[in-house]
Amino acid sequence: MAFMAMHRLDPAPETTVDVYSPGHAPVLTVDPGDTVLVRSLDAAGYLARQEFPGDAGQPKMFTGEFRGHCLTGPIAVRGAEPGDMLAVRLVSLRPDEWGWTVAPTVPDSPVARRLELAAAEPAWLLWEIDADAGKATANGKYTRPLAPFLGVTGVAPAGRGEHSTVPPRAETGGNIDCKELVAGSVLYLPVAAPGALLYLYGPYRFDRATAPSNDAFDASLRSRDARWGVRDVRDLEAAASGFTLREVVAMPANNHSLVFARIAP
């Protein structure tokens, strides 16, 4: 039986990036089945705790204008090649002692316009987090239960150069903000670059009890555009030309992960 190693990776200037790139040198190389204890910073990469809501002047990992999420990695998986499927198993998730939330994050962005917040001033919350008690309190007023999940988990895209961390990508994951990626879940990512080059960010701190259900989410999408909505597995199989559905993995909250395999020519 092969020995499965345990690794630890902490955020530092030499172990963090704010873009994806297949040209990044891996900061850690592991074997399939190894376990990695990863610590990540928040999206902006703050190195010191905010003292009050909106205290954006604290030092950050990256100076200058925001380019993308502060990611820990990349981690290379020995032997992973384009066409493979990488399984990321989340064993446990524990948030730090503080966090922040702001909305709208980017004024006059498409999301802000959809929420009718394009002209609104940013509203900040500063969270005090008690991971042992399983709760967080914002601005000394609002207490919510914890349900940590990973906001950004992805591998390097195949194209040369740098790629933004902001848009989620069907082919490589990334900023998918899936609240079901909790401890005990498995995320399957297609490998697009040799070694896979896995990047991690999170966990977020949100109140799962207030998150919309899948049905409500589907209704909301379809109310905006009839072409949108939660897709049926049969439709996905029909659209996955050149692939076959290999496995359906049950996930929390009545969700599923679909594992497709490339059909050999």
DSSP state of 25: P
pLDDT band at 28 (very low <50, low <70, confident <90, very high): very high
User: How many other CB atoms sit within 10 Å of the CB of residue 182?
Assistant: 19
> Domains in the chain and their CATH numbers?
6-94+143-211 (2.60.120.580), 213-265 (no CATH)
Q: Which tops the pLDDT comparison, 251 or 224?
A: 224
| pLDDT band per the 50, 70, 90 thresholds, residue 205 | very low
Kindly state the percentage of the chain with pLDDT values over 70. 75
Global pTM reads 0.71
| Closest C-alpha among 94, 82, 112, 116 to residue 195 | 82
| Token digits of residue 59 | 């030092």
pLDDT at 48: 95
What is residue 111's DSSP assignment?
A: H
Closest CA to 250 of 159, 194, 186, 156: 186
Vertex 208 angle, CA 119 and 40, to 5° = 80
Identify the pLDDT of residue 87: 92
Bigger pLDDT: 152 or 115?
152
End-to-end CA distance of the chain: 33
Whether 218 shows a pLDDT value over 80: the answer reads: no
Instruction: Answer whether residue 250 shows pLDDT above 80.
Output: no
Specify the higher pLDDT residue, 113 or 153.
153
Q: Report residue 110's pLDDT band, with 50, 70 and 90 as the boundaries.
A: confident
